[in-house]
Amino acid sequence: MRHTWETVFDLGYGALRALRNSAIALSVSTCAVLAEPVTVVALGDSLTAGYGLPQDEGFVPQMQAWLVAQGADVVLLNAGVSGDTTAGGLARLDWSLTPDVDALIVTLGGNDLLRGIDPANSRANLEAILKAAQGRKLPVLLVGMKAPGNYGPEYQSQFDSIYPELAAQYGTLLVSSFFAPLGSEDPAKLGAFMQADGLHPNKDGVAKIVAGLGPKLLELVASVPK
């Protein structure tokens, strides 16, 4: 079969076009492979750390599994330290927020309550954490705690107001209480979901908390700039 110059040109153009299309497909494929998951740091105390539970039954591992099940491309880092107060969380914030971090969950204040720390101090520490996150342009999910009545109504009112007021001031997402998904703040009513110490959720309690907080975490992830 004889080829005219036009036929040769068409064949060459067709090969070039196929090569170009292959390059585009490879580029898109490479970008998809190189796309990084959203990295979220969970800054908290023993509730975040998973105190008293096997490694895979704590809050962070269960939440990570829940996120994967929802199809979210997220890496959740456990920055929970048992016994930590809001002051402790603030003290280690800088080295917790590495350059690859995209968002932050803050679950602190429970140990401030156990120690009867002045709510003004707790507020100042939490505000400093939110200011630092704002300075890094990190979206935040602030998870509150509720004060028991044994410190008196004034203390309770001052402490409970910290989380909604700071969330409004700094434009963060808010969950009113870590224990809200369990349906009560009264440990006496939560026996089926708590460990023997009455302070920390068991595996089933964590699962309910994860299911309750998970949608807010998805909202946090969606707010991360692409």
Catalytic site residues? Answer: 46, 197, 200
Closest to 128 (Cα-Cα) out of 89, 99, 100, 85 = 89
The pLDDT, as a whole number, for residue 26 is: 42
The pLDDT, as a whole number, for residue 152 is: 96
Percent of the chain at pLDDT exceeding 70? 83
The pLDDT, as a whole number, for residue 184 is: 76
Which range has the worst mean pLDDT, 33-37, 39-43, 124-128, 144-148?
33-37
The pLDDT, as a whole number, for residue 129 is: 98
Q: Is the pLDDT of residue 22 over 70?
A: no
Q: What is the mean pLDDT of the chain?
A: 88
Domain 37-222, what fold?
Rossmann fold (3.40.50)
The pLDDT, as a whole number, for residue 126 is: 98
Q: Is the pLDDT of residue 135 over 60?
A: yes
Q: 90 pLDDT band (50/70/90 cuts)?
A: very high
Q: Is the pLDDT of residue 16 over 50?
A: no
